[in-house]
Amino acid sequence: MTTTNLRIKLIDETPTPFIDEPMPLDLSLKWASKYENQVDPRVEVFFAQSAYSKCIEHTESDLENEVGGVLIGEVRVDPMCPRPYIVIQDALPALYTDSGQTHVTFTQNTLVHLNKELEEHYPGKRIVGWYHTHPRLGVFLSSHDTWLHRNFFADPTHVALVVDPYYEQAGFFCWQTGNKFDPIRYVGFFELSDVDEESVVELENLTPVIEETPTPCGAAALEEGAAK
Ligand SMILES: [Zn+2]
């Protein structure tokens, strides 16, 4: 079996269709990175508080070695927005990873296990991305991380989340228009309130964006227009 066949079979065997639903902006708080205006992601990222807390708890479980897993949720389309958005609804720690201080990688057994978990416990959901930690190293993707993303998370809606649990930093790496992928410039996310009306996010490198009427599609379209 070739790597390509393996990838399709394990990750994208029966992709769940996109869901038509307006962005839950009134329930969300946008967290922006310093690179926010320099990247043009193919998706917007909504991170449910419950999933965020579970993910962060895992990332803080080891401040010496890297840990990782996958992000589970839905891909949705807002009729008012030209690009889809993902809603991360759960985080699933990966077993059988080869981890060291410098990198996490998924083995074939990891992917078999994750796929089985998804089928059994998350019917109708997708793997929308993956996460891993860089204790004391900061938020970026190494060449190995980029290789892994390109090979296992090649769908335009797939994202990579990197967390530095030591310095309390995090960021998302997304596919960009023109199949571009930037391993340095990360974006933030919309914190979707499903647990608490107050924010549960405590990150040193992201800033909350307070807008009376948040319009991410409108803002992006204006910026795109201005760049041309
Ligand atoms: Zn890494």
pLDDT at residue 213 in the model: 61
Residue 75, pLDDT > 80, answer yes
pTM, full prediction: 0.86
Let me know if residue 7 belongs to a domain: no
Distance 94 CA to ligand 1 centre (A): 14
pLDDT at residue 112 in the model: 82
Distance 228 CA to ligand 1 centre (A): 34
Answer for the pair 144, 105: CB distance below 8 angstroms, yes or no.
Answer: yes
Provide the domain count of the chain: 1
Distance 137 CA to ligand 1 centre (A): 9
The string of pLDDT tens digits covering residues 11-53 is 555 566 788 999 999 999 999 999 999 999 999 999 999 999 9
pLDDT at residue 28 in the model: 96
Answer for the pair 81, 217: CB distance below 8 angstroms, yes or no.
Answer: yes
214 CB contacts (<8 Å, ≥6 apart)? 25, 28, 30
Let me know if residue 91 belongs to a domain: yes
Distance 196 CA to ligand 1 centre (A): 31
CB-based neighbours (< 5 A) of ligand 1, an ion: 142, 145
- Under the banding of pLDDT at 50, 70 and 90, the label for residue 111 is confident
Distance 86 CA to ligand 1 centre (A): 22
Distance 39 CA to ligand 1 centre (A): 20
Distance 185 CA to ligand 1 centre (A): 14
The string of pLDDT tens digits covering residues 83-108 is 999 999 999 988 766 665 556 777 77
What are the C-alpha distances in Å from 156 to residues 66, 169, 206? 25, 24, 24
Cα–Cα dist 225/219, whole Å: 10
Residue 82, pLDDT > 50, answer yes
Distance 206 CA to ligand 1 centre (A): 19
Let me know if residue 6 belongs to a domain: no
Cα–Cα dist 26/161, whole Å: 24
Let me know if residue 112 belongs to a domain: yes
Kindly report the CATH number assigned to the domain that includes residue 104: 3.40.140.10
pLDDT at residue 3 in the model: 40
**CA-based nearest residue to 125, from 72, 194, 52, 87:** 72
Distance 92 CA to ligand 1 centre (A): 17
Question: What separation, in Å, do the N-terminal and C-terminal C-alpha atoms of the chain show?
Answer: 45
Distance 30 CA to ligand 1 centre (A): 25
Let me know if residue 3 belongs to a domain: no
Let me know if residue 134 belongs to a domain: yes
Let me know if residue 38 belongs to a domain: yes
Q: Which domain holds residue 105?
A: 16-227
What is the percentage of the chain residues whose pLDDT exceeds 70? 82
Cα–Cα dist 153/111, whole Å: 12
Residue 217, pLDDT > 90, answer no
Answer for the pair 127, 113: CB distance below 8 angstroms, yes or no.
Answer: no
Distance 41 CA to ligand 1 centre (A): 20
Distance 37 CA to ligand 1 centre (A): 23
pLDDT at residue 223 in the model: 45
Amino acid, single-letter form, for residue 81: C
| Structure letter (DSSP) for residue 187 | B
Let me know if residue 11 belongs to a domain: no
Helix, strand or coil for residue 84? Answer: coil
Amino acid, single-letter form, for residue 189: F
Number of Cβ within a 10 Å radius of residue 168: 15
